[in-house]
Structure 1
Amino acid sequence: MATASTPVSAATLAGADEAAAYIARQAFCDDEVGAVGLELESHSVDLAHPERRVQWRRLQEIAASIGPLPGASTITFEPGGAVELSGPPHPDVSAAITAMRADRQILAAAFGDAGVALAALGTDPLRAPERINPSARYGAMAKHFDAAGVGGPGAQMMTSTASLQVNLQSGRRSQWRDRFALAQRIGPTLVALSASSPMLAGQPTGWRNTRQRIWELLDPRRCGVVPIGDDPAESWARYALRAPVMLVRGNRDSKEGSGEQVTAEAVVTDVPFSAWVDGQVMVGDRRPTTEDLDYHLTTLFPPVRPRGWFELRYLDAAPDFWWPALAFTATAVLDHPAAADIAAEAVEPVDEAWETAARVGLDDGDLRTAACRLVAAACAVAPDELLPDLLDLLGRAEQGRCPADDFTENVAEYGVAQAFSGFTR
């Protein structure tokens, strides 16, 4: 995605005002709406022993056997071994979906040949949280969550959740505020529509979207909705400065496990970044640099995160017969003016219904109505090759069905282990 430029070298920050200006400069990029990037996570499941985590070395070996992907996606791994495909920006959402479909097919085939299934569900329905990625970043994150009293949800978030992330241009400067606000307002409806996580660690949770529930149990200063005032860049800066410092990085982190030495130290006291940058509290006996601030921004997880573009972070990972239509819907109702107008009106009754969306999904009548209107608006602007997927999604939404319903039925018929390991086939 198009991004604002950042300084080449780190410099010590003089105070909160300088930090806020630095954050604001990077939050949005003045560019035309259009380019789209997709990221799709899937749990790795050992077909011979689905109750066990796939070990780190095995995951690395499988990934190394895959050559460059045709859609140019990169392969990385989450703390619990979930596999993530991160696609580059493509000219439009249709191109992004086509590229991700091709890369996902190659990825799934390679892992399948090695005896590992890729299950695109919002939560791991079978296994207890367990971290297998050795990155120091994730160990430090676990220490921070434990010290903050949310070690359980923190471990679940890191090792037992998976998402479909849609990355969209922030648009022209005059559009930033309205696009940011609408991206958050449609969140509860898309949480309900994409819900695929009714189980966790072998047990039904009573929630359709358990992944969203886990996020709600974490610190709202880090994971909550961003309050947007007249100036969205200023609003994001205020949010970021209020959030507590999670970690301090030494050498560059390596999510891919390349063997690069990494140091990351957890911050186990409640220190808002503003307190550190203003000198009220010292972290590591020093004031923060711009590099520290950049790293702090990577530890913020609101439902919509501005990074020069918008990351929509609230969609559950979904199987192959759902995610393309979900990605197109999320994009269309923000990037297409007519669809955006419909969406803004449709979600008004439910634009703060995050908990209801996670708990009951489309069983809630207002959320179901809003979801149907969003998908119908997307159908009206869909290209011919995606329209069948959109119409299928619309039909399911009209029935009040989400991916969680399909998975629950599979569990009832086959058991959770077989449903989990065979869900993508």
Structure 2
Amino acid sequence: MSIPQSGGGPIESFDQLAGYMEAGCKPKDDWRIGTEHEKFGYCKDSLKPLPYDGPRSIKAILEGLRDRFGWDAVEEGGNIIGLTKGGANVSLEPGGALELSGAPLVSIHETCDEVNSHLKEVQAISDDIGAGFIGLGAAPTWSHDEMPLMPKGRYKLMDAYMQKVGTMGRSMMRRTCTVQVNLDFASEADMVQKMRVAVALQPVATALFANSPFFEGKPNGHKSWRSRIWRDLDDDRTGMVPFIFDDGFGFEAWVDYVLNVPMYFVYRDGEYIDALGMSFRDFLEGKLPALPGETPTLSDWADHMTTVFPEARVKKYIEMRGADGGPWRRLCALPAFWVGLTYDQGALDAAWDLVKGWDAETREELRVQASVAGLQAEVGGIKMHDLAREVVGIADAGLASRALPGAGGMVPDETHFLNALKDSLESGQTPADELLEKFHGEWSGDLSRIFPEYSY
């Protein structure tokens, strides 16, 4: 989840809303890669979630990272709720999952080094206190009541509201984890093409990274239960945003969409003010019931933009949001997948040619079936396994074309970061398939085995 935005002056005209996104346009040489991933923490002896406070807790992990590895603390209401260092930040998901939001970096070599360094730091602190962390799309065994709600005002407001607009919002908050990548665009037209490819192909990412076949201690009938949860959360702010495929889509159309999404809060002086269900349009006119007579700043707009949760999202960059959290290798494979598809124009054009004939119903059904069947999904003659093979091939060619070397020039490009996905395509098995095979085989239905065998 996002941290409060800052630094924006008063909004004096409607044009500033689209201008906020347009200000993110960058020449290709300045494009960067920002990788985010979440993971569940647990107590090694009990296999229960880490509480926020205590000697073995989320707070102890954050304090350990601060004290031993030089991170700066972020506090709210006297509680440590995050960390910052060198353009990266560590934050807490509502149920205590730990998230690294990586710094904007030039190559996947760099972002993978960052992921590796972070996980080693977390492991060092965790080992000292008897904690562990595991990368999955959904909590495999824990109930809602076992998951603590972190002491953040934003989450308290969201928790109450989620019960009114869908059936799975609180499950999303406490019991799901993802890996995503944030990518740049050069212009409005570049943003449009990238967003259309991103949304259309999120189901392929969902299938390839499917890693949540268990919930509350048993198989749930889906390869990606995390994706299933997102389909019944809040229709106002989730989904496949079909309007982005309409003629004339651009920054202003995205503004209209975000303005139509009900508000959660306004952040003032370190406090979250309840604006649940209120209208940002009213806020622009000084008619927000929560703050009568006050008009918003650009930081308020930036905050509101973080409360829309479609499968891909535009801010000053594009966020790819369709993948389950997962094992170490796949935390580097996700940025490789999307960078390969979108940071080389030939690859981006090939990806668009692949999807431009699909209608909204096809895109939505691919999303649904990816969550259920993963690589075994089939929609209207489109076989997900074949589609994924073609898409990964395009990404591979895009990375080869970038030709960014790593390891001091010993590695010629970034294509090897796709190897985990190529292995899945060769075997037909995603992480979810492997987990189900173990559950029904050598584990004999004992899901506690997942923790020692699949933790970082």
TM-score, scaled relative to structure 1: 0.86
CA distance in 2, matches of 1:306, 1:7: 19
Could you tell me which residue of structure 1 aligns to residue 266 of structure 2? 248
Say yes or no: does 1:326 pair with 2:326.
no
Say yes or no: does 1:143 pair with 2:160.
yes
Aligned counterpart in structure 1 of residue 311 of structure 2, from 278, 303, 313? 303
Alpha-carbon deviations, 1:197-225, whole Å to 9, x = none? 11222232211111111111022221123
CA distance in 1, matches of 2:414, 2:122: 22
Say yes or no: does 1:31 pair with 2:26.
yes
CA distance in 1, matches of 2:347, 2:174: 36
Say yes or no: does 1:65 pair with 2:64.
yes
Q: Identity across aligned pairs (percent)?
A: 25
Distance 1:113 1:347, change over 3 A: farther
CA distance in 2, matches of 1:77, 1:157: 14
CA distance in 2, matches of 1:206, 1:272: 38
Q: Which has the higher contact order (CA 8 A, sep 6+)?
A: 1
**Residue identity opposite 1:104 in structure 2:** L
Could you tell me which residue of structure 1 aligns to residue 254 of structure 2? 236
User: What's the C-alpha RMSD, in Å, of the aligned pairs?
Assistant: 2.6
CA deviation after TM superposition for structure 1 residue 304, in Å: 1.4
Aligned counterpart in structure 1 of residue 325 of structure 2, from 305, 309, 317? 317
CA distance in 2, matches of 1:71, 1:109: 20
Could you tell me which residue of structure 2 aligns to residue 110 of structure 1? 125
SS in 1 for 2:307: coil
Does structure 1 retain, via aligned residues, the 8 Å contact 2:287–2:293? no
Could you tell me which residue of structure 2 aligns to residue 50 of structure 1? 47
CA distance in 1, matches of 2:86, 2:162: 36
Alpha-carbon deviations, 1:69-117, whole Å to 9, x = none? 7986432211111011111101123322222222222223332332211
CA distance in 2, matches of 1:65, 1:102: 15
CA distance in 1, matches of 2:199, 2:431: 22
Does structure 1 retain, via aligned residues, the 8 Å contact 2:275–2:290? no
1:86-97 correspondence runs (5 A): 86-97=101-112
**Residue identity opposite 1:232 in structure 2:** G
Deviates more, 1:334-343 or 1:208-217: 334-343
CA deviation after TM superposition for structure 1 residue 296, in Å: 1.9
Distance 1:231 1:364, change over 3 A: closer
CA distance in 1, matches of 2:154, 2:131: 26
Say yes or no: does 1:274 pair with 2:271.
no
Aligned counterpart in structure 2 of residue 156 of structure 1, from 171, 175, 198? 171
CA distance in 1, matches of 2:234, 2:346: 36
CA distance in 1, matches of 2:48, 2:63: 24
Alpha-carbon deviations, 1:350-404, whole Å to 9, x = none? 6442111111111025221121112222333346475444234213124332111
Deviates more, 1:412-421 or 1:353-362: 412-421
TM-score, scaled relative to structure 2: 0.80
**Residue identity opposite 1:311 in structure 2:** E
CA distance in 2, matches of 1:42, 1:360: 23
Say yes or no: does 1:177 pair with 2:192.
yes
Distance 1:108 1:378, change over 3 A: farther
CA deviation after TM superposition for structure 1 residue 144, in Å: 1.3
Distance 1:317 1:303, change over 3 A: same
CA distance in 2, matches of 1:31, 1:71: 21
Aligned counterpart in structure 2 of residue 376 of structure 1, from 393, 417, 432? 393
CA distance in 1, matches of 2:386, 2:301: 41
Unaligned runs of 5+ in 2: 72-84, 406-410
CA distance in 1, matches of 2:266, 2:58: 28
Could you tell me which residue of structure 2 aligns to residue 422 of structure 1? 453
Distance 1:46 1:388, change over 3 A: same
CA deviation after TM superposition for structure 1 residue 326, in Å: 2.5
Unaligned runs of 5+ in 1: 253-261
Does structure 2 retain, via aligned residues, the 8 Å contact 1:304–1:312? yes
Say yes or no: does 1:205 pair with 2:223.
no
Could you tell me which residue of structure 1 aligns to residue 78 of structure 2? none
Could you tell me which residue of structure 1 aligns to residue 424 of structure 2? 396
Say yes or no: does 1:99 pair with 2:127.
no
CA deviation after TM superposition for structure 1 residue 52, in Å: 4.0
Does structure 2 retain, via aligned residues, the 8 Å contact 1:119–1:423? yes
Does structure 1 retain, via aligned residues, the 8 Å contact 2:206–2:227? yes
CA distance in 1, matches of 2:25, 2:139: 38
